[in-house]
């Protein structure tokens, strides 16, 4: 299986190159046989890359430690599902996985459009195959081949880093990669539109659902990453402005800007050049993220000297793509002229424009902060880092304005808003915001950023609820349906709009959750068994945590010599106001193969706050079993995860195919592909 996978990788490259050439040639000459051959190359690549990926997984499961990659990211004692996840645990495997997902999306795009949008398709498949060719060249020639052999077979592998041994590890990277790779499809359509000169909103209409799909996965991927950090890294936070986190945020920022700005192009025929730039920038950032995440370029230029080769290859590719797209956009400038102009600052266009500028501004600030060590080293010969305060300084105000715009943009009128439009839509929400601000001030809240977040959130939520209310009432009046039925039909008729509102409501919840960090409480105390520590949360709840006992467990006792980790588990009872809430089992683990320890925190979630217990240090020498606990009460953190789920649900509503759901029949409904079939 592994040999087959290795061979598949080698066969894939000529097929990708062949398909690229044929697709572009077919587009140029209009010969359908060439185009068809190019499209079949995409299917073949998906198959071959699936084989290659299966080969890697087989090597992990078969404990084939003669392969450098397998030996570096696994050991005999590792759980099976972490062995499967070994495919994306390191740079080499994740490149194969990335390529597999991209080829899969390319195949889906080609298949779904096999009878539609024929003017675009040759260049779409050509562009996607060109990207795939590049990735395959990297895999085979940039010393990152996952099938590279060590030349001897070690008795055991080095093991997977303990911090990656968490179930989010099996979920978070694939989700993010799905988001990164799905965006290649809109990018390919954009390039195709530039090449063919068909620069109306058609390419956007065709790829709208792809854009939303990518956005859906990116958003979830980032939130899953935050959860992973929160549960596994054990410092009670979820975001550290680490270069790797920033890398995943950057394409999300530009993609979010793009999701909004395409609406202006579709409705008003404006911002065509801007949209082209955004789609190209987002695609470049997805590639940048992939390569930054796994190359270690930012933090350790010195220690990763051997990896600089791949850095130069990727930078060259990014430069080439940026250059080609710039030339194409300049060449097509006459066709990218706006069809109308902004008439007033108080209009929806203007709100969307402002939203875009802020997203791009944030993205720029994040790029700057992330690359600052490289920039200062290049210019002054001295690396200088910037920390979280830098990012907060820029992004907190910008984020708050964006939050407020979420309340303004959807209801303000196109072109020019009248005083009446403003009064009608904003009087109540503004009052709600002021009321919340006043109430919080009266309660003694003086943290300005958190206070503004809660007040603006109240404003935005009121706008959204009022929109749903008005829409449902109007529909119920006209159609005579009941409230709930008309709400469902309302959403069904314009999923994109109402789904967007649901996304906004989720984002509001996420923002309030983030603002909760202003009220974190933490206590560190060393306890002997039987002793307790008391904490008072920002909501005024009195928690008491009792350290009951310590147990040294050997979870895989049946296979005594096959232990992946040893565990010391503390039993901690949580009480609130005397009432027993839960028993937590925070752990210290030691991974003998890796010679590393790790902490598993205990988390007890309530609706409004999390009790978060970190066993900092376990005294094993004296036999007294004393443990240093850090106890945190983190208000509103659960709201981030709830908000994330609502965002995901809203995004799904927006991108769900129009035929499904509303057109459901007794026979089980229509499948997404059916629409394409019927078009024939």
Partner 1 sequence: MKNRRFLVGLAGVAAVVSYLMWTGVRDSMVYYMTPAELVARIEAEPAFRDVGVKVSGRVVEGSWQRLPGPEHEFRVADLADPGVVFSVRFDDVVPDTFNDRAEVVLEGKFGPGEVFEARTVLTKCGSRYEAAKEDFAT
Per the listing, tokens 């990164």 go with 180
* Contact stretch for partner 1 (CB under 8 A) within 25-33, 441-449, 465-473, 596-604: 596-604
Q: Give the residue with the Cβ less far from partner 1, 497 or 616.
A: 616
Q: How far is the CB of 395 from partner 1 (least distance, A)?
A: 9
**Which is nearest to 511 in space by CA: 466, 468, 465, 451?**
451
Does 83 bind partner 1 (CB under 8 A)? Our answer is no
Could you tell me the smallest distance in angstroms from the CB atom of residue 209 to partner 1? 29
Q: Which of 303, 558, 561, 678 binds partner 1 (CB under 8 A)?
A: 303
Applying CB under 8 A, which of residues 10, 43, 372, 519 lies at the interface with partner 1? Answer: 372
Task: Confirm or reject binding of residue 379 to partner 1 (CB under 8 A).
Answer: no
End-to-end Cα separation, the chain, in angstroms: 39
- Residue 324 CA to residue 313 CA, distance in Å, equals 16
Build a one-symbol-per-residue string for 91-110: x at contacts with partner 1 by CB under 8 A, - elsewhere. x-------------------
Tokens representing 460 are 């935005």
β-pair partners for 596: 591
Q: 5 CB contacts (<8 Å, ≥6 apart)? A: 51, 52, 53, 54, 55, 56, 58, 59, 147
Q: What is d(CA 136, CA 400) in angstroms, rounded to the nearest whole number?
A: 42
Q: Is 61 in the site for partner 1 (CB under 8 A)?
A: no
Stretch that binds partner 1, among 189-197, 213-221, 297-305, 671-679 (CB under 8 A): 297-305
Q: Which of 22, 38, 146, 13 is nearest to 91 (CA)?
A: 146
Range in contact with partner 1 (rule: CB under 8 A) among 100-108, 340-348, 445-453, 635-643:
340-348
The reply to whether 284 sits near partner 1 by the rule CB under 8 A is: no
At 82, list the tokens.
């972490």
Cβ distance to partner 1 smaller for residue 361 or 492: 361
Q: Taking a C-beta distance cutoff of 8 angstroms, is the pair 1, 55 a contact?
A: yes
Torsion of CA 294, 176, 161, 309, to 10 degrees: -10
How buried is 651 (Cβ within 10 angstroms: 0-12 exposed, 13-18 middle, 19+ buried)?
Answer: buried
Alpha helices in 443-494 (DSSP H): 448-479, 483-493
Q: Which is nearer to partner 1, 48 or 95 (CB)?
A: 95
| Residue 393 within binding range of partner 1, rule CB under 8 A | yes
Nearer to partner 1, 163 or 267 (CB): 163
Residue closer to partner 1 (CB basis): 343 or 549? 343
Locus of tokens 């003694």 = 444
Collect all residues with Cβ–Cβ distance below 8 Å to 546 and sequence separation of at least 6.
530, 531, 532, 572, 573, 575
CA 443: distance to chain centroid? 36
Token couple for 118: 């024929």
In the window 130-159, what residues touch partner 1 (CB under 8 A)? Answer: 150, 152, 154, 158
Alpha helix (H) ranges present in 229-300? Answer: 243-268, 272-295
Per-residue contact string for residues 607-646; x = within reach of partner 1 by CB under 8 A: ---------xx----------x------------------
Q: Is 302 in the site for partner 1 (CB under 8 A)?
A: yes
- Given a contact cutoff of 8 angstroms between Cβ atoms, the answer to whether 252 and 245 are in contact is no
SS3 634: strand
Which residues are paired to 575 by β-bridges?
Answer: 544, 580
Q: Which is nearer to partner 1, 71 or 490 (CB)?
A: 71
Stretch that binds partner 1, among 14-22, 117-125, 354-362, 484-492 (CB under 8 A): 354-362
The whole-angstrom separation of Cα 131 and Cα 125 is 10
- In the complex, what is the shortest distance from the CB of residue 231 to partner 1, in angstroms, rounded to a whole number? 14
Question: Least Å distance between CB 156 and partner 1?
Answer: 10
Q: Which is nearer to partner 1, 20 or 598 (CB)?
A: 598
Q: Per CB under 8 A, does 46 bind partner 1?
A: no
> What tokens appear for 511 in the block?
């923002």
Q: Is 163 in the site for partner 1 (CB under 8 A)?
A: yes
- Report how far residue 275's alpha carbon sits from residue 209's, in angstroms, rounded to the nearest whole number: 16
Based on the shown chain and the rule CB under 8 A, indicate whether residue 473 belongs to the binding site for partner 1.
Answer: no
Binding residue for partner 1, selected from 341, 443, 607, 666, defined by CB under 8 A:
341
Cβ 131 to partner 1 shortest distance, Å: 24
The stretch near partner 1 (CB under 8 A) out of 183-191, 347-355, 486-494, 559-567 is 347-355
Provide, rounded to whole angstroms, the least separation between the CB of residue 384 and partner 1: 5
Name which of 43 and 354 has its Cβ closer to partner 1. Answer: 354
Show the CA angle centred on residue 601, arms to residues 600 and 602, nearest 5°. 125
Q: Applying CB under 8 A, which of residues 597, 605, 606, 662 lies at the interface with partner 1?
A: 597
| Residues making contact with partner 1 (CB under 8 A) | 68, 71-72, 89-91, 150, 152, 154, 158, 161-164, 234, 242, 244, 270, 293-294, 296, 299-300, 302-303, 338, 341-342, 345, 350, 353-354, 357-358, 361-362, 364-365, 368-369, 372-373, 382-394, 397-398, 595-599, 616-617, 628
């Amino acid at each position: 299986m592994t040999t087959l996978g290795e061979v598949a990788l080698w066969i894939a490259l000529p097929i990708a190159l062949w398909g690229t050439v044929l697709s572009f040639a077919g587009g140029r000459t209009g010969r359908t046989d060439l185009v068809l051959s190019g499209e079949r190359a995409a299917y073949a690549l998906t198959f071959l890359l699936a084989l290659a990926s299966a080969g890697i997984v087989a090597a992990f499961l078969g404990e084939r430690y003669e392969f450098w990659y397998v030996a570096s990211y696994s050991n005999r004692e590792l759980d099976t599902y972490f062995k499967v996840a070994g495919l994306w645990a390191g740079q080499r495997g994740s490149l194969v996985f990335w390529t597999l997902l991209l080829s899969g999306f390319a195949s889906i795009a080609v298949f779904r459009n096999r009878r539609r949008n024929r003017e675009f398709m040759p260049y779409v498949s050509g562009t996607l195959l060109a990207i795939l060719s590049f990735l395959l060249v990297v895999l085979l020639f940039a010393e990152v081949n996952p099938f590279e052999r060590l030349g001897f077979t070690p008795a055991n592998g080095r093991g997977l880093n303990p911090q990656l041994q968490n179930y989010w590890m099996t979920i978070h990277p694939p989700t993010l990669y799905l988001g990164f790779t799905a965006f290649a499809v809109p990018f390919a359509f954009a390039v195709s539109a530039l090449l063919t000169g068909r620069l109306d909103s058609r390419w956007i209409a065709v790829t709208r659902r792809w854009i939303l799909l990518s956005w859906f996965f990116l958003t979830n991927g980032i939130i899953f990453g935050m959860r992973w950090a929160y549960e596994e890294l054990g410092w009670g936070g979820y975001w550290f402005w680490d270069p790797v986190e920033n890398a995943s945020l950057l394409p999300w920022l530009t993609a979010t800007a793009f999701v909004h700005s395409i609406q202006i192009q579709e409705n008003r025929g404006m911002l065509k050049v801007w949209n082209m730039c955004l789609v190209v920038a987002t695609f470049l950032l997805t590639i940048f993220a992939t390569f930054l995440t796994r190359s270690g370029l930012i933090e350790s230029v010195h220690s990763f000297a051997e990896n600089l080769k791949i850095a130069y290859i990727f930078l060259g590719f990014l430069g080439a793509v940026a250059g080609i797209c710039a030339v194409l956009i300049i060449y097509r400038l006459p066709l990218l002229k706006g069809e109308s102009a902004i008439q007033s600052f108080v209009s929806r266009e203007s709100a969307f424009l402002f939203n875009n500028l802020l997203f791009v501004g944030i993205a720029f600030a994040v790029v700057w902060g992330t690359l600052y060590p490289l920039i200062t080293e290049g210019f002054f010969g001295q690396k200088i880092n910037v920390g979280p305060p830098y990012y907060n300084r820029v992004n907190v105000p910008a984020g708050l304005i964006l939050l407020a715009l979420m309340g303004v943009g959807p209801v303000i009128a196109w072109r020019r808003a009248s005083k009446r439009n403003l009064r009608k839509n904003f009087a109540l929400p503004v009052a709600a915001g002021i009321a919340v601000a006043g109430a919080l001030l009266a309660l003694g809240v003086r943290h300005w950023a958190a206070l503004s977040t809660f007040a603006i959130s109240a404003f935005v939520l009121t706008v959204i609820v009022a929109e749903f209310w008005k829409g449902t009432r109007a529909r119920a009046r006209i159609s005579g349906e009941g409230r709930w039925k008309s709400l469902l039909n309302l959403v069904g008729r314009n999923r994109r709009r109402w789904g967007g509102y649901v996304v906004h409501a989720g984002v509001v919840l996420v923002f309030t959750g983030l603002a909760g960090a202003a009220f974190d409480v933490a206590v560190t105390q060393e306890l002997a068994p039987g002793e307790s520590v008391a904490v008072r949360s920002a909501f005024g709840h009195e928690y008491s945590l009792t350290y009951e006992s310590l147990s040294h467990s050997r979870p895989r006792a049946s296979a005594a010599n096959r232990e992946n980790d040893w565990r010391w588990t503390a039993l901690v009872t949580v009480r609130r106001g005397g009432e027993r809430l839960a028993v937590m089992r925070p752990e210290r683990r030691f991974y003998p193969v890796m010679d590393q320890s790790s902490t598993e925190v205990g988390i007890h979630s309530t609706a409004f706050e999390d009790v978060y217990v970190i066993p900092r240090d376990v005294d094993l020498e004296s036999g007294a079993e004393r443990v240093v606990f850090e106890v945190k009460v983190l208000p509103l953190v659960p709201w981030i995860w709830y908000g994330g789920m609502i965002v995901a649900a809203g995004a799904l509503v927006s991108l769900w195919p129009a035929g499904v759901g509303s057109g459901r029949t007794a026979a089980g409904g229509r499948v997404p592909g059916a629409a394409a079939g019927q078009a024939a």
